[in-house]
Amino acid sequence: MAPRVAEERRVVEAALVGAGGAGGALARGAIAGLLPAFGWHELAATQLVNLGGTMALGLLVGVLERSGPRPRWRAFLGVGVLGSFTTFSTLVDESRSLASMTSSGVALVYLAGSLAVGIAGFWIGERASTLGLQRSSPSHDATETAR
Amino acid sequence: MESRDGMVWAAIAVGGVVGAWIRWSLALLVQHASKNRPRPFDPSRATLCANILGCFLLGVFLAHPSLLEPPSHGWRAAALPAFATTGLCGSLSTFSTLCSDAVRRARAAPGRGAVLYLLAHLAGGPLALWLGSTIPG
């Protein structure tokens, strides 16, 4: 019985990862296609996608930390939507173009700087999730006492 | 660039599904390989593999556009490139999980873990992209 349940859970998670992956890729494709039409540089579009997605993941991780593990939400939003929405390969390819336009030093600083900004963004998202929960903590305490 | 019609959007979505599945499968594989080990592998290794693989494949696809020519007349010229680059490689590689892995590593063991992880991406990504572009096609 137990292996069967585990198997079914995995199938559901696979469907959620796939659906989220499609959504994340479509959203990234839409932003990458739209923003340059409004005069944005393609580098800026990738940065926006990566930073926004990473902050959102920080928020999700922070929320799941407190709510306890929710494998389905993690699979759909974390692995699927946000994992696909953000991209490393495009960032590396854009760094390569930057290297051919400027120098490899500039490209390397750009790539390292992107990682640093992303990590800061993740941390900010995580902090933001605690702020939201602190505000709502009275009702949280109430349910704890009620239990 | 031709405007994206339904077929191109569908191609991006399908590529997104496949890329996310491969990335998730790599995570499950690392988890499975850890089963009977006293110290489990760090799950961030799967993210690194997915990102390196994504860069390698992007290098292959960008250097060999002939691989992505429309297979028949009914296909939009942009459909297969959109599937392979924006869809598959974009979705297989991830930036958000990379950042969360680095933060988690830094917290688990303050010191080299997170720095080495980031350096592996900084060096491995461009190297894999270049390697992919050098294979004869």
Give pLDDT tens digits for A11-52: 999 999 999 999 999 999 999 988 888 888 889 999 999 999
> In angstroms, rounded to a whole number, what is the distance separating the alpha carbons of residues A25 and B85?
10
pLDDT for position A108: 96
pLDDT for position B80: 95
> In angstroms, rounded to a whole number, what is the distance separating the alpha carbons of residues A96 and A93?
5
Q: Which residue of B has its CA nearest to A110?
A: B122
- Name the nearest CA neighbour of A8 among A93, A16, A56, A103: A16
Cβ neighbours of residue A29 closer than 8 Å, sequence gap 6 or more: B4, B9, B12, B82, B86, B87, B90
pLDDT for position B100: 97
Cβ-Cβ pairs closer than 8 A, A with B, add up to: 171
The confidence band for A112, taking pLDDT boundaries of 50, 70 and 90, is very high
pLDDT digits (tens, 9 = 90+) for B3-61: 568 999 999 999 999 999 999 999 999 999 998 888 888 889 999 999 999 999 999 99
pLDDT digits (tens, 9 = 90+) for A120-138: 999 999 999 988 655 554 4
Length of chain B in terms of residues written: 137
pLDDT digits (tens, 9 = 90+) for A44-85: 999 999 999 999 999 999 999 999 989 999 999 999 999 999
Cβ neighbours of residue B112 closer than 8 Å, sequence gap 6 or more: none
CB pair distance less than 8 Å for B89 and A89: yes
Contacts of B93 in chain A (CB under 8 A): 87-90
pLDDT digits (tens, 9 = 90+) for B107-119: 988 778 899 999 9
How far is B135 from chain A, CA to nearest CA, in Å? 17
CB pair distance less than 8 Å for A21 and B102: no
Write out the two tokens for B47: 């993210």
Of A33, A88, A126, the CB nearest to B54: A88
How far is B31 from chain A, CA to nearest CA, in Å? 13
Stretch A91-115: mean pLDDT: 96
Write out the two tokens for A1: 């019985």
Query: Does residue A34 sit at the B interface (CB-CB below 8 Å)?
Result: no
Q: Cβ atoms within 10 A of the Cβ of B16, count?
A: 34
The confidence band for A144, taking pLDDT boundaries of 50, 70 and 90, is very low
Of B9, B17, B90, the CB nearest to A87: B90
How far is A64 from chain B, CA to nearest CA, in Å? 13
B1 pLDDT above the threshold of 80 = no
Q: Above 0.90 for ipTM, yes or no?
A: yes
